[in-house]
Amino acid sequence: MNNPGKTSIRRAVVLAAGRGKRMGEFTTETPKTMLSVRGKPMLEHVLNGLAEVGIESFFLVVGYRREMIEEHFRNWRLPIEFRVQDPVDGTGSATRLAREFAGNEPFLLTYGDIICEPHAYIRCARELEEHPEAAAVLGVRDVDDPWQGAAVYEEGGRVTRVIEKPPRGTSTTRWNSAGLDGLRPVAFSYLERLQPSARGEYEITTIFEMMLNDNVEVRISPMEGLWRDVGRPEDLAALNDKR
């Protein structure tokens, strides 16, 4: 989509620390976010899309083979702050590293392996801008069954419940958390209180349940058009087949 517009939000946090084990031999020497999509690292597509809608400053959380990412983006056209996540123990602990970077400003949070159209960033940012009482906005996708991600329940655009990795066939919502969030600085007070999940990871979705328990407003932002969570080789092939 051309001319997606601009957002007043100027900061973005992008998580790119993991190896991507499901990619198999593709990531033996290369971090997943540096795998090529139509001639560029997929991470570059993410940063370009965010820059297109007005993001001016980036916080990039790196880990596995971080030197490849840092070398490629060291002289990029916009400021990037790199921070190493060690150990790589979840999206919540990765996001927590950005506290000083965010300061007192709202920011967008996404992943280096989530490919979407720039207008998705705009829609998420504007939902946050238009609802000043909301602490967070969750980008969501309409799916048959959100069992592979996080099921998001809502009423009138306001989130009522988030369930991480629900058992297959148990969800009564079609909304799946889609790897794009708009967050206000208050999110860090919840991130500091995070406890490991049953999988031993500090998961970002947990803070939304914490917010809801405190009667803090959380909203959704439906994502339409091209969207791909590049988790397996077939996802990469599908993107590279598109013209």
Q: How many angstroms separate the CA atoms of 142 and 218, rounded?
A: 18
Residue type, 50: L
Contact residues for 221 (Cβ-Cβ < 8 A; gap 6+): 120, 123, 124, 127, 137, 138, 139, 140, 180, 182
Other CB atoms within a 10 A radius of the CB of residue 62 amount to 27
Q: Domain segments of the chain: what residues?
A: 11-241
Question: Which residue from 117, 92, 110 is spatially nearest to 193, judged by alpha carbons?
Answer: 92
Q: Report DSSP state, residue 185.
A: T
Angle between helices 42-52 and 66-73 (to 10 degrees): 40
- Confirm or reject CATH 3.90.550.10 for domain 11-241, answering yes or no: yes
Question: Per-10-residue mean pLDDT for the chain, 243 residues long?
Answer: 80 96 93 95 97 97 97 96 96 98 98 96 97 98 95 98 94 97 98 92 95 98 95 91 64
Q: How many angstroms separate the CA atoms of 231 and 146, rounded?
A: 15
The three-state secondary structure class of 43 is helix
Computed from CA positions of residues 112, 90, 149, 141, in that sequence, does the dihedral angle turn out positive or negative? negative
Strands 40-41 and 36-37: antiparallel
Query: pTM for the full model?
Result: 0.95
- Alpha carbon separation from 92 to 2, 203, 226 (Å, rounded): 33, 5, 26
Which pLDDT score, from 0 to 100, does residue 1 have? Answer: 47
Is-contact 207 187, C-beta < 8 A? yes
Which pLDDT score, from 0 to 100, does residue 209 have? Answer: 96
Q: How many angstroms separate the CA atoms of 89 and 78, rounded?
A: 28
